[in-house]
Each structure stands twice: as structure tokens, then as C-alpha cells.
Structure 1
Amino acid sequence: MPSRYWVVGGHYTDTAFTSVVAGTEEEHIGPFASYDEAKAAWQAKAWATVDNCNFRFRIIEEAGPKRVKRYWVIGGDYVDTGFRQLVEGAQEERIGPFDTYETAHAAWQKAAWSTVDSCTKRFRVVEETVV
């Protein structure tokens, strides 16, 4: 599930915004699927209460699952410089995964330099996002 956004606020006892006025509750408006949707709702609430300095509304993000990027070096020996079809009997090599682009790039350099004399061998860094 991706992040969700809430507009939270209300009428507070002072401009420190630590407690709401007695008999009221902090409002939670949402959830919204995007920050832009939440911002539109926030603007409506903020402009409706702009003349009272004890009103405050803010946008809070409820984070979705953590997404992790990892990187692979992929390539091999292709039939031509279009790099679409591997030579017969060959399989695409997958080196990795790597946690950072920098470490994948270093592995790519090693693979690329080891095959520099062949114009039909190619390697590339591919990014993958994992939940």
C-alpha cells in the first residue's frame, strides 16, 4: 500500500498548538491518496480559518511499506550491436544484487572492461525496487 496523507488540526488554546479548545477535538481529514489532494484540503481548511491565529492545520504522511532499491549488472554476449538477442546457447548474466548504485557501477566496470575487446558483449546496471 502506498503512502496516505491526512490533514490534521483544529482550534487550539494558544499559538503553541499543544492542546485543542475544551469541548473540541483535533480533526483528522482523509486519508488522501496523494500529497496534492491533501494539500487542496489543507488549503481549504487553512483559508477558512485564516483570521484566527489559534487555528492550525498540517499535512501528515502515513508511510506505506518501505521500498528498497537494489541494483543488478545484467548482460552477456549478443548476436550483434543491437544487443537484443543473445548468441545461441548463451544466457544473460545477472551479477548482484547490490545495495547501492556505486557498488553495482563498480561491478559493471569490471564486467565491461573484461569484455572491452568484443563489440557484441554488453553489460548494464538495472535498478529494481523491492517492497
Structure 2
Amino acid sequence: MSGDRKSYYVVGGEYADASFAAPAPGKALERHGPFDEKAAFDFWRSITGRTVDNALVRYAIAIETDEDRRLWYVAGGEYADATFQTMAENKPLEIYGPFTRKAAMDRWRSMTGRTVDSALTRYSVEHQNDLDIRRLLGG
């Protein structure tokens, strides 16, 4: 959405190795902000200047929009038939969340990947304002 407000964060810290995939043992990744764009860049430049001698320290600027702050859910499960209107007998509607949009999409991909062989199992990503339990249950 083009009207989304953006917040900028400086994230990072000391990592376990040069893959920069996991924090060093006993360390947690840092998150500084929120900043406007210029303040985030200025803070990033300051903190990277102080840590330049440690090759395992890395910081980056992360952007968060209003869309990222909205709540999302993954809903679905096994349905009675291919109309996807009624849950299968003794199968509840499954609802997972809340998540950020990205985390909801990641969860949805994971769940649909595990259930790809079941033609009657379906999940969808639902925005908090559109999470209509009656519709999802076929009512």
C-alpha cells in the first residue's frame, strides 16, 4: 500500500559465524528504533563505525510499514467436500495466529506443503478484519 507509514529499525549484533544466520552463543540480536529514514541511517553508520573491528558483527536497516504491523491469521483444515463450505466430521476449523503478513504467509506455505496430498484440506491467510468464522465454517 503506497500510503503506509514506514518505520526504520537498525537490527543486528554479533553472530556465531560469517554466515550471519544465528546470533553468537549467549547473545541476542539487537533492534534499535523506530527511526525516520535519515535517523536510522545515521544510527546505523554510528554503530557500524564502533564495531568495525569485529568481523562477526553486522547491522542492517529494516523497514516496517503499517501493513507489517497488521495482524494476520491462517485458517482452514479438512473440509467435508470440494465445495469447502463445511468442515469434515469431527474436524475443527483450525485458526493459527496472530502473525505479521510475512509470518502468516510462511506458516501457510508450511501447512499447505504438508497437506498437499489431501484434496479436501485447504488453508487461507485472513486479515484480522476479514476473519469471518461463520463464512469459514460454512454458516
Band the TM-score falls in, shorter-chain normalisation: 0.3 to 0.5
| TM-score with structure 1 setting the length | 0.48
Which structure is larger by alpha-carbon Rg, 1 or 2? Answer: 1
| Structure with the larger strand share | 1
| Structure with the larger helix share | 2
| TM-score with structure 2 setting the length | 0.45
